[in-house]
Amino acid sequence: MSPPSRKSSASLAAPADLETLRAWFDAAVTPAFAVDPSGRLLLANRALVDLLGITPDVLVGKSLSNLVAVMGDALPNADAYSRRVSRLAEDKESVSDTLVEYHTDQQLFFKEISQPIRRSDGAPLGCLFLWVAMTREKQIDQNKNEFISIASHELRTPMTSIKGSLDLLLGGFAGDLGEETRELLVIAQSGCERLIRLINDVLDISKIEAGRMQLRLQPISLFDCVQRSARTIKSYADGFQVKIVIDCPGPPPEVLGDRDRLDQVVTNLLGNAVKFSPAGGTVTVSLCPVAGAMQCRVKDQGPGIPPDQRDRIFGKFQQVEGQAGKKGGTGLGLAIAQALIRQHQGRIWVESEVDRGSEFIFQIPSAPSGGT
């Protein structure tokens, strides 16, 4: 059985009552159980009890500790697992997923997807848990992603401290610096900033792939996002002798978006446009409403993108062949931008002609009238 998407699991986890949930349990082939806020098992489906080799009455109506006891030594870190399930059932944590290792005569791996469940009147019913079977290869891949995420977190703290120290030295905190010393510190500062950007990109892509990138959606002005991003990147554009022009003929309608993440998308697109534009060139950002949505177009005057590379540039670690070495970058920016726009229920694409520049366009839904 293929793993359910977050969207599908969310719809399953919002029953009007316990009978509705029981009907789904009877049909599910994925091991599943539900726990009420007091830690009592409401339901355990056939797939779960068959896996554990028991009958439903051993679990249903009993304490969560019964489930942990049945699994016994086959469940590593049983106490920690029990506490986590209890917190989820009490609605003290939001939707999450984790890896469950179940050791019997063979080592089995499950991705446990959990989400609070409520009645139609909003009253808490508890929490639903689904165990989606994973192959050994998928488990190794998940462990790799977790390692990358942890390593990136551990690297970011010292790199931020190093950058802060370099900024202080270049700002004159330790007195006047010789020309040669200043040049070396500027090189170190530039390298440090590049590493921090790479670490942040890796952390973002890890969150996105793990489904842990949560958006705070609210009605916001996309025009304000563009203005903030243009101010943020102005000194960078000045260094390339590139001008940024914003074209917005009238007050655009608000969009339903996460301000920080849309700022990140626009800043990334502007940065790429500046980087690939010639000295003295212009980057134009255009905003316009289109059929219940807002469209943002970022146009540069760069070398353009060959037709055979326009789809692949949104992949991870992908850059336009022949330009990557000259322009640098991690090759993650567009992959992150695409993932964030998709999370906003929008789409992003590129239109380009070789030697005539490129135009990156994204479109996201407008906010409902009267806000949310």
**CATH number (domain holding residue 333):** 3.30.565.10
Residue 363 DSSP SS3: strand
Q: Is the pLDDT of residue 300 over 90?
A: yes
Same domain, 302 and 327: yes
Cβ neighbours around 280 below 10 Å, total: 10
| Domain boundary pick from 103, 134, 165 | 134
Same domain, 70 and 117: yes
Specify if 270 maps to a domain.
yes
Q: pLDDT band for position 243 (50/70/90)?
A: very high
Q: Is the pLDDT of residue 13 over 60?
A: no
Same domain, 144 and 130: no
Q: What is the pLDDT of residues 147-168, one digit of tens each?
A: 776 776 677 778 888 888 888 8
Specify if 370 maps to a domain.
no
Overall average pLDDT of the 236-255 stretch: 87
Q: Are strands 243-247 and 282-290 parallel, antiparallel or unpaired?
A: parallel
| Domain boundary pick from 209, 230, 255 | 209
Overall average pLDDT of the 100-114 stretch: 68
Same domain, 23 and 122: yes
Same domain, 328 and 233: yes
Same domain, 59 and 161: no
End-to-end CA distance of the chain: 37
pLDDT given at position 6: 35
Q: Are strands 124-134 and 218-220 parallel, antiparallel or unpaired?
A: unpaired
Structure tokens at 372: 């949310």
pLDDT given at position 135: 66
Lowest mean pLDDT among 82-96, 196-210, 233-247, 261-275: 82-96
Q: Is the pLDDT of residue 332 over 70?
A: yes
pLDDT given at position 113: 79
Higher model confidence: residue 124 or residue 54? Answer: 54
CATH of the domain at 22: 3.30.450.20
Alpha carbons within 13 angstroms on the beta-carbon side of residue 41 total: 22
Q: Is the pLDDT of residue 326 over 60?
A: no
Same domain, 283 and 260: yes
In the chain, the number of structural domains is: 3
Specify if 109 maps to a domain.
yes
Rounded to two decimals, what is the model's pTM? 0.56
Same domain, 24 and 106: yes
Contact 256, 366 (CB under 8 A): yes
Specify if 372 maps to a domain.
no
Same domain, 163 and 250: no
Please, which residues have CB within 8 angstroms of residue 29's CB and are 6 or more apart in sequence? Answer: 1, 47
Specify if 325 maps to a domain.
yes
Specify if 244 maps to a domain.
yes
Specify if 56 maps to a domain.
yes
Overall average pLDDT of the 186-196 stretch: 80
The fraction of the chain above a pLDDT of 90, given in percent, is 20
| Of 63, 62, 61, 117, nearest in space to 90 by CA | 117
Same domain, 52 and 168: no
Please, which residues have CB within 8 angstroms of residue 282's CB and are 6 or more apart in sequence? Answer: 242, 243, 244, 245, 301
Residue 216 DSSP SS3: coil
Same domain, 156 and 27: no
Same domain, 225 and 181: no
Specify if 258 maps to a domain.
yes
Q: Are strands 124-134 and 41-44 parallel, antiparallel or unpaired?
A: unpaired
pLDDT given at position 163: 82
pLDDT given at position 2: 37
Helices (H) and strands (E) in the chain, counts: 11, 12
| Domain boundary pick from 209, 236, 258 | 209
Q: pLDDT band for position 134 (50/70/90)?
A: confident
Please, which residues have CB within 8 angstroms of residue 311's CB and are 6 or more apart in sequence? Answer: none
Residue indicated by tokens 């793993």: 3
Q: Residue 303 sits in which domain range?
A: 218-365
